[in-house]
Amino acid sequence: MDQEDVQLLLSGVQTTESPLYKIFQDKKEDIQKFLPADRYEKFDKNIKLNTVAKKAYNADTKTWNDSYFMTETQKFLSKEEADKILKRMKANRALKNKDIPAYEKLIMELYQDYSAASSEELNSLAWNFFENVSNKLLWKSNRVGTGVCKKRSELCQY
């Protein structure tokens, strides 16, 4: 396997049900010549996560099977990680489906302690609230503080 083969394989394998996943597992040593072990493990987790998420979400009913998601993801994630990822996936799906009350609730739960979030992440969330959520004061008072921003390109003044 060369670098190009590894890149093609990594871009093609999406779920553990893909025939490419078997190659991904079988060629682990070859792949790790081009990809550090920690990145390989991260890819593997993401592939497993994609598989579980695909099975846990019912697009017809727009519902999640929380117990299935939590049971399956806890085979390779901690309970806290699995719960946080599920909430984030639910929030993203709620925003995509324009279920703004669900999005608002989930984001407020996820970011009770926003100190670990990056400024880019918080900026993105703030704009999602600005564009979609009717109760913008809740986000401002709980997350942003009392800053005043006149334009998106300006920094907030406190």
- Alpha-carbon distance of 46 to 81, in angstroms, equals 13
- Alpha-carbon distance of 29 to 56, in angstroms, equals 31
Can you give the pLDDT at residue 132? 79
Return the structure tokens found at 27: 């060629």
For the chain, what percent of residues have pLDDT higher than 90? 63
Can you give the pLDDT at residue 141? 55
Can you give the pLDDT at residue 135? 61
Greatest CA span in the chain, whole angstroms? 55
- Sequence-separated (6 or more) residues with CB below 8 Å from residue 102: 90, 91, 94
Read off the pLDDT of residues 115-131 as tens digits, 9 standing for 90 and up.
888 889 888 888 887 88
Whether 81 and 95 have beta carbons less than 8 Å apart is answered as no
- Alpha-carbon distance of 145 to 158, in angstroms, equals 8
CA nearest to 85, candidates 59, 100, 63, 106: 106
Whether 110 and 122 have beta carbons less than 8 Å apart is answered as no
* Domain segments of the chain as ranges: 3-86
- Alpha-carbon distance of 83 to 101, in angstroms, equals 19
Q: Which three-class secondary structure state does DSSP give residue 148?
A: strand
CA nearest to 90, candidates 105, 68, 111: 105
- The mean pLDDT of the chain is 86
pLDDT at 143 over 60: no
pLDDT-derived band at 140 (thresholds 50, 70, 90) equals low
Can you give the pLDDT at residue 147? 46
Can you give the pLDDT at residue 113? 82
Name the helix (H) or strand (E) containing 64.
strand 63-64
pLDDT at 148 over 60: no
Beta partners for 63?
58
- DSSP type of residue 58: E
pLDDT-derived band at 138 (thresholds 50, 70, 90) equals low
Read off the pLDDT of residues 103-113 as tens digits, 9 standing for 90 and up.
989 988 988 88
